[in-house]
Structure 1
């Protein structure tokens, strides 16, 4: 048993240090076996999960939920910091020093006398410093060498397109991106209708369609992962509502009752629209 007294802190620095102290105790020999067994890789995945839960709280305007989930995000960040402290305390301190130095270096319009007029110019300055001052550029034979290979496919597609955009290889207007999506959808349809043709690759055409859809989201200024996450949440919410109504009305969820399920689906959509207008 560890003798520890929790105190309600009144300053950010004290509250952060208390969290770090608790995390350190959990990782200690007298602490929790499960916490000691965690690895940076495992905690990194927890951090991703908690970030999405925090995002869900933001999307639902849940202030109390945001507070709780932000705490969970910080917990996992502190757990990673503690793990590095255990192997090399100076390295974790240097990591914090480096990120502070980087923020000051990449914001000369804040911490020096360089002038910028808008956010676009801020990004240009940021990228120029990364490449020309820090030397963070792609390898000679791989333009995408700085795109993390561990990224999930959707995020990787977005990163590839963002990198291409930085050198000016982009659509002049949104209409071209819309037309590209329509073109890729047409090619999917063609491949579907000629699946016996060895020259047609339906899977590849579907991939091209998804890549074009990601490009459209990116061009319009939206994160494709967040857009898809919101659509997933909407589908779950609506189908759960359909599931409940079907039970209440004695309608079995089966293809033979598709017309009844469609009716319930449209009712749910109409209810959502009326609630949003209130």
Structure 2
């Protein structure tokens, strides 16, 4: 059976924790995530090749996974819940756009997209 990248990273995380290489607290992991975001921004601002940007985004994803592990959250469950929440919000977004006469949002101003997204979040906040 082929191991997925997520499974491989989870295995490596467990291995490194078992070896004693541990984050001392969640705040340090969050700081690392913020640092990774800055590195992504810098790579984009400097028009680095896609491979470099991909590397930095991968580092951010790894840091998020490390935070899940540190907090003893099930990574698969966390991702599944996020996917479900996003699907629910997308459904609300599409309905809201339809109510306003849009068949899609291609080419619409970012301000409108933001307003519609915030309204979709409000409509689905109890779900």
TM-score when normalising by structure 2 = 0.81
Q: Does 1:167 align with 2:19?
A: yes
Quote the Cα distance in structure 1 between the aligned partners of 2:85 and 2:48.
37
Deviation at 1:215, TM superposition (A): 0.6
Match of 2:97 in 1: 246
Which SS does the other structure have where 1:251 is aligned?
Answer: coil
Q: How does 1:116-135 map to 2 (within 5 A)?
A: none
RMSD: 2.4
Q: Report the CA distance shift for 1:271/1:241 in structure 2 as closer, same or farther (over 3 A).
A: closer
Quote the Cα distance in structure 2 between the aligned partners of 1:153 and 1:234.
23
Q: How many residues align?
A: 125
Match of 2:36 in 1: 184
The answer on whether the counterparts of 1:253 and 1:261 sit within 8 Å (CA) in structure 2 is no
Q: Which runs of 4+ in 1 moved over 6 A?
A: none
Q: How does 1:194-213 map to 2 (within 5 A)?
A: 194-196=46-48, 201-213=52-64
Structure 2 unaligned runs (5+)? none
Quote the Cα distance in structure 1 between the aligned partners of 2:34 and 2:47.
20
Which is greater in Rg? 1
Quote the Cα distance in structure 1 between the aligned partners of 2:123 and 2:25.
36
Quote the Cα distance in structure 1 between the aligned partners of 2:43 and 2:112.
33
Structure 1 unaligned runs (5+)? 1-40, 42-149
The answer on whether the counterparts of 1:155 and 1:225 sit within 8 Å (CA) in structure 2 is no
Q: Report the CA distance shift for 1:182/1:260 in structure 2 as closer, same or farther (over 3 A).
A: closer
Deviation at 1:165, TM superposition (A): 0.5
Q: Does 1:219 align with 2:103?
A: no
